[in-house]
Structure 1
Amino acid sequence: MSVVKSFVGTWKIDPNASENLPAYLQAIGLAGDMVEGAVKQVVEMKWVVDGNQVTHKMRARGNSHVTTFTLGNEFTETLMGGRVYKTTYTEEGGKLVRRQIGSPYNCTATFQLVNGQLVETRTCESSPPVSCVRKLNRT
């Protein structure tokens, strides 16, 4: 729980520090006309820890998504776009790891602090796999 505790607070995306986001969004099935808007959107993440429960709130384009979980416990998650996954969060090697099993592809995300930024690396297990990196600054 020590890794996720270091994320507690509110973070905003650094729009100039994303890498390969359009390709990742296309790989997970986001419609082409929505990709451009998604790349330009302001994303805010908030992390809260209460005992064994972790809450991850994400807000973008006036929409919000709230996930509450316990590390290591699988749960069903419905994302903002309506995709449904079996999701598990774990701490591994100084990172928070999110594994999502579902359609159209399984996805993995890691979260870690690097030079004061929260760095999120997402991988879509398509063929070939597609990854992107997003960096967020604490507000």
Structure 2
Amino acid sequence: MVDAFCATWTLVDSQNLDEFMKALGVDSAIRQMGNDAKPTIVISHEGDKVVLKTLGSVISTEISFKLGEEFDETTADGRQAKSTVTLEGESLVHIQRWDDKEAKIVREIKDGKMINTLTFEGVQSVRTYEKV
């Protein structure tokens, strides 16, 4: 099922990202950059590892993981998290844990688009990507 996500995706719509980043405690300068960014996400797999690259004009990140196995992640806003990605039904569910806190990113494919729903402490942002 991960194969459905393996592609290059470009951001076409972003809802409530600023409020989501505020909830995380991201400072205003970084929030402004995040709000202005139109990142490209490249998802691939190499054997049993999934590679997820987020490519932006200012900040880029890359994570590599095996489904269901915890890994160390430095997020785009600099948080040091213990993360796990699982396949639940047809969704990739990405949990980030740090300092007794937890953020969740659910990636789903709907109508040929990848919908990323980010949730932290009741604040939700939805970001929509189209295949390049």
TM-score, normalised with respect to structure 2: 0.93
| 1:85 is aligned to 2:81 | yes
Gap regions ≥5 residues in structure 2: none
Give distance in 2, aligned partners of 1:61 and 1:27: 24
Task: Supply the AA of the counterpart residue of 1:7.
Answer: F
Task: Supply the AA of the counterpart residue of 1:94.
Answer: E
Give distance in 1, aligned partners of 2:100 and 2:21: 12
Is the 1:56–1:68 contact (alpha carbons within 8 Å) kept by the matching residues of 2? Answer: yes
Task: Supply the AA of the counterpart residue of 2:81.
Answer: Y
**Which residue of 102, 107, 124 maps to 1:131?**
124
Is the 1:28–1:105 contact (alpha carbons within 8 Å) kept by the matching residues of 2? Answer: no
Moved over 4 A (4+): none
TM-score, normalised with respect to structure 1: 0.89
1:82–1:35 CA distance, 2 compared to 1 (3 A):
closer
* RMSD, aligned CA: 1.4
Q: CA deviation at 1:35?
A: 1.8
Give the match for residue 71 of structure 1: 67
Q: Percent same amino acid at aligned positions?
A: 27
Greater Cα shift, 30-39 or 63-72: 30-39
Give distance in 2, aligned partners of 1:32 and 1:104: 23
